[in-house]
Structures are given as C-alpha cells and as structure tokens.
Structure 1
C-alpha cells in the first residue's frame, strides 16, 4: 500500500512507499556524503545551493539507489511560458511555482535495472510537493528539467509522464546577468505535480497553498507588447475624465496602468500603484506620463491617491466598454474555453470578466458592484456582458453556482455556445436531478455532496 509518513530516523524527511522504494530528505549528517557522491559520479558535479534548494535520496532496503537535487526554475523560457499559459508578468511573479530538477544520479551501472530510473523519478515527484511545503511554506505545481539530446534521450522523463515542450536557447551563464552561446541547446521537459497544475498556476487569485510562492514582479515586466500598450492608451484616451481639466496625469495613461495591472492579477489599489512604480523610464515615457519639474528625464507615475480618485469618481461603464473594445481588437478569435467570474477592486469597483481558461487573460469585461438584485450586481452584469458578445459559436463557458440561472444558460445557448455551470443548494431541484443523471452516466462520476455539474442541451 502506498503511503506518506514521517521517518524519525531522517528528522524532517517524508517517505513514500513505492513497492520497494522510499524517498526521504537528506539530513545534515548525510549532506557531506550526498554532495561528495554527486561530485564524484555526476558529469556536472555537485549542485550549488541557490535559493529554495532540496536534496532527495531514494532508498531500497536501506541502500541509496538514486540522488536528486531540486532548486529554482530557469528565469525565462519562452516554450515553458507558452506551455503553461503565462505572460511575462505572471511568469515573473509566479516563477517559484516551478521547481527544477538540477541533478539526477542513479547509483548503479547503466542498463543494470532498466526500470529503476523512471520508478525512482516518479516516486520522488510524488512526494516533492509535500516535502517542499514542509520546508518552504508553499506547494509547487510544476517541475522542469533539461537533457542534452546529443548525450541523453530522456527516456526516464518520458516514462515518468514528463512532456518535452521545447528547446533552450543554448546559452551558458558567464556572469550574474550575462550569458554566452554554448552551441548545445538542451531539451526542456515539464511535469505537472498535481491534476490541472497549469490551470492552477494561472488562477487569480492563487490557492492558499501556492500563495507563498508569489514574489514582487521584476521592474519593467509588462503583460503587453509595445504595440498593444500604445493601442491600449489610444483607446482609453477616449474615456471621460471625472476630474477637472487641470490634471497632471491624463486619463489615458492612468486607465492604461489600471488595465495592465488588472491583466497582471491586481485586485487592490495599492497593487495597481506598486505596478505603476515598477515601470522603467522608457515605459513611463511611452505611456505619456509627465516629467517631474526640475528634472530632465525623471517621469512621474500616479500615486495611490490618483488611482483612488479616478476609480471612485469615474463612470465605470465607459471604461469597461472601451476595455472590452480593445480586448476584441487585439485578441482575435475567442479561445475555445472561457470562464465567467467577478472580482472586486477593494470595495470601490468590481469587474465581471470572461477569461481564457488557459492563461487567465480577459477577453471581455463589464462593471459590477457588491449589491444584490441591482442592475450592476455580478449576475446581471454577467448576463449583460454575454448579451453584448457577437457570438460564442464553438465555445464552452464555465461559471460558479451564482451563474447557474436559466437566463444565463439561455444567453450562452442563443450565442451558439455550450455551458458548464456548477450546481449547489441554491438550485435544489436541479441539484437532485443532476445527481440522479450523473450516477448512471458513463462520462460523469458522482459529484461530491453539495455540488454538481450540467452542460447545455440545446
């Protein structure tokens, strides 16, 4: 039987019984032996201890059979970000959700036990999230590793469920911030450490067990390219300004900063203000922000009070309409799977968003407030947003139980889309019916108590 349990002999290590294999963390007394064996037997030598760093040893009947080292992920990998669905800003802030397999050493002769490599790797990956949570206070979602295609085929990674998602650029670190070509690009392998790991890595907000991995995004990391930023500013310049004419920060740049911060997952005015302060001078100039008096090239950014004044006094409807117009222009066709949800920015303004489930980016937005049964409540705003869309042909919309309403389902179906709406106790008759139908379906397992699911039947 497979189990996860503490081993008093290994201090803080966790063990995983996988037939005859178990995985534990390396204690302080064993660290010298572990690093020495890596230095002597691994072609890259011992791994330098950088950032969050974990040593695992796989044992069989008390004997070490494999050594693994896990550490921080590579800073930037285009193929990896595309595979996950991250933009530049999400990748910068959530990079710690990925851990890198920096060393993997089998302590036997090559070909002696053909299946041991994949079995040991799989066992290590199964306990890695729990061990990482115990050591560093957050649970990673993904693992990455590299193999040299000229020397290794990566068979054990493939057998262990890892996916080859691309190649590295073939550069080696020369100094802290400088790389030089080495002429030997590596194959990149990725592994989801839990079901729907990629979707969870893109979720806004992150689950509590992943929240500890969030870091302040690096300065100058933006969710849009240069053309998209300029286009966004031109569109938002048309928004009415609720302030007087004599303002230092024009409405176009201010709302552009709000929109980009929202795309990066900001949900508080303080987060929007911090996002603005991280812009480089060139990016500030590009947005049309003013130069500080008495300086030549110091571009000011709006403060918290500026964002607060704009967001509390403006009519949010034109802002949402312009933002949806811009999203339609730059997004092209809608993705195949969309999620409907509402979020509040503090208690001031709320946005209902229809987002791409792959990367969390919005494709349409509407304004909402926290009051129920008003024209701006989340349910009504979501229905108005759906009604304004030109088509949902070939798309599937998912939503939480709040949106499990006949009118919402009708709007989606009339636009040519399908829906998958959660059901809870707010729809007792429908919930009871869904449970009886799911029980006899070969496609649906019985849902847990209190929830269910239903797809449209045109």
Structure 2
C-alpha cells in the first residue's frame, strides 16, 4: 500500500480492518476500512439523521479509506469483483472484531484522478460532491480545495431507516446515548447557565460558573458520566473548542494564547453547590432550542429505597422522559398521597 497507492499507507483510524484479495496465492488488491467521516453534508442529508443521533450511530458506517489494485492484479472486472466479495463478509467481520455490525459503506473519490468507475460498476450510489474543505489541526481549511465524489453502499435494504430509528436496542447499540456538539451548540451552552448565581467565594475563582457547567453538560451530552470523566473530556478538547466554551485564556511563551479547563475538583465543587432547580431549568431551555422534538412523553414514578425525608416518609420521584430523544425533561419529588 505504501509503495503503490498515491496517498500512501494509512494509520489506524478508530475501528479499522485491512483486507487482501488473492487469486491462487497471489495478492491482487488491498483494502482498508476505517472509521467514517465525522461530517459529510451530502451523506448526512441522504441519511436524514439529526445531530443527536448522528454521533451515536456513526460507528455503523465504515469508510473505504484505501483501495489498491496491485500491478499484478490488473484484470477485467477485478475491482468490482473485490468490492462485491467485501460486501458479503464485512458486516460479519465487523461484528466479530468490534461487537457491532455495519449498515453502510462510504468512500471518497478524487475526480482529478479517478471517475469512480469501479464503485459504479459495483452498484455503489454516487450522492454528490463534498464542499472541498479538509480537516486541519485547528478545524477546517480556510479555502475549499478539491471537492470529492461521495459514494455509499448500503449493506442492509433498510439501512437509512435503521440509521434514524429511535430504538437503539434494535440497532444493537449499548451504553449511554452519545452526540457530537457543533460549534454553535458549544457557544450556546454557557449562555444557558449565565443566570445561575455562583455559590463560590469570589476570592480565588479562576473559572466562570457558566463555563464549568457548560463543560459538564457537554461531557454528559457526549455520553460521559462522573466527575472524573467530565474533567478528562474537557482536558481532551482542542484549543478551538475551549475557546467556543469561553474557557479562561492566558498567554504562554509571551505570544500564544492557551485556554485552560477546570479540574475535576472544580467541576465537582460547582455541581454539588448550585441549585438543582435552576440547573434543570437551564438545561430544559437548551433542550428546547437544540434538542430533538419528542412526539410523546413518558411519565414514571419511583419510590426511592432507603431515602427518608424530614417527616419520616419515603421519597417518591416523578420523571418525564422523551420517547425519541430519551431525554429526561424533569425529575421532581412528588407530593405524598395521604
């Protein structure tokens, strides 16, 4: 791959599998399947998913990031034949190695070099072209470069319907639902918490309360739980993301700006001190502006085992949860029945 492919070899990107096509013991072609592109406008519009479900289900798509037909494999129809063999086994291979199946394959073709004839012959769908911006360490390139053709190949006859299906269990997804925050959502989170009073002393306060709460909420929306996980998620943010959250800025080496994030202690200290009702109202306002609109709500009540109030009665909690988003809109202590 490193010797013959014009882009060279590709390091491991998330969940990655390598394939070799052989004929009578001789290598004919090599393929690399890796993590799907984080954002692709034509693909995302074709699927029809929203920002909340996209990040959580992106792992159900794999990117054919490299496809090389070796010099000794230049036979008629060998490319489409190799792609056909790949489609038959890749879902089972992915399930065996990573614990979940695949619903869709994608790839990008540079029209300056190729016209995608191999993918068209293998019945891949040409969705259109990208805008031409490429990812950099600081975000995306300032100017559009070479737009690429986007091809996809569904591995299930209802691939798009399953990718947007609200039931995660039906897709075999485990763990907490996750999402990916975009730049506008990062900037909006601190604004939702601006009205909450800061219970900390002014002396020694380094991080603004709306920023701390926004980082904690962002980590939770992305599937993290616990103070340590929130702090690690914040520490992994790049400088551009930290700036969007409004993190504290200080100069390093006399010229470069460096944005600092709060520690685990600061996050825990703020969350245990603030008023829970004010925090719930702020999160509800953000959910109303950015969240998925639920067609139905579920109301459920629980008796908290071992939780006794000041009057010696067990605490009863009522919760309201959205069917589609699985978001908890409210959780209140109910009035005891007499």
TM-score (norm 2): 0.61
Which residue does 1:260 correspond to in 2? 218
Q: CA RMSD in A?
A: 5.5
Change (3 A) 1:71 1:201: farther
Query: Aligned pair in 2 of structure 1 residues 139, 105: CA closer, same or farther (>3 Å)?
Result: farther
Provide the C-alpha distance between the structure 1 equivalents of 2:296 and 2:28, rounded to a whole number of angstroms.
43
Q: 1:366 aligns with which of 320, 324, 329?
A: 329
8 Å contact 1:138–1:210 — kept in the other structure?
A: no
Contact 2:322 2:328 in 1 (8 A): yes
Q: Tell me, in whole angstroms, the C-alpha distance in 2 between the residues paired with 1:183 and 1:301.
A: 34
Q: In structure 2, what is the Cα distance between the partners aligned to 1:164 and 1:154?
A: 9
* Distance (Å, rounded) in 2 between the aligned partners of 1:341 and 1:122: 48
Q: Match for residue 233 of structure 2? A: 275
Q: Which residue does the alignment assign to 2:18?
A: 54
Structure 2 distance, partners of 1:272, 1:189, is 37
CA distance in 1, matches of 2:245, 2:134: 35
1:69 Cα deviation after fit: 0.5
Q: What is the aligned counterpart of 2:92 among 118, 130, 152?
A: 130
Residue equivalent to 1:238: 195
2:32 matched residue in structure 1: 70
Give SS of 1:102's match: strand
**Aligned partners of 1:269 and 1:246: how far apart in 2?**
23
Alignment of 1:375 with 2:337, yes or no, is no
Equivalent residue number for residue 270 of structure 2: 310
Larger radius of gyration: 1
1:186 aligns with 2:148: yes
In structure 2, what is the Cα distance between the partners aligned to 1:267 and 1:83? 32
- Report SS of the residue matched to 1:144: strand
Summarize the Cα distance change of 1:70–1:313 in structure 2 as closer, same or farther, 3 Å threshold.
same
- Structure-2 change in CA distance of 1:293 and 1:65 (3 Å): closer
Gaps spanning 5+ residues in structure 2: where? 301-317
Q: Does the 8 Å contact 1:89/1:264 carry over to 2?
A: no
Task: State the structure with bigger RCO (CA 8 A, min sep 6), 1 or 2.
Answer: 2
Name the TM-score, length of structure 1 as normaliser.
Answer: 0.48
Using the alignment, how far apart are the partners of 1:193 and 1:210 within structure 2?
24
After TM superposition, give the deviation of residue 54 of structure 1 in Å.
Answer: 0.7
Ranges in structure 1 where 5+ consecutive residues have no aligned partner: 1-34, 343-349, 377-458
Tell me if the contact between 1:289 and 1:301 (Cα under 8 Å) persists in the aligned partners.
Answer: yes
Instruction: Indicate if the aligned counterparts of 2:100 and 2:172 stay in contact, CA closer than 8 A.
Output: no
Task: Find the aligned partners of 2:196 and 2:213 in 1 and give their Cα distance.
Answer: 9
1:102 CA displacement: 1.7
In structure 1, distance between residues paired with 2:166 and 2:20: 24
1:166/1:92 CA distance change after superposition, 3 Å = farther
1:150 positional shift: 7.4
CA distance in 1: counterparts of 2:282 and 2:119, whole angstroms: 47
Quick one: distance in 1 between partners of 2:86 and 2:108?
17
Q: Distance in 2 between matches of 1:193 and 1:181?
A: 34
Compared CA separation, residues 241 and 78, structure 1 to 2 (3 A): same
Q: 1:126 to 1:278 in 2, by over 3 A?
A: same
SS of residue paired to 1:103: strand
* 1:239 counterpart SS class: coil
TM-fit CA distance, 1:304: 1.6
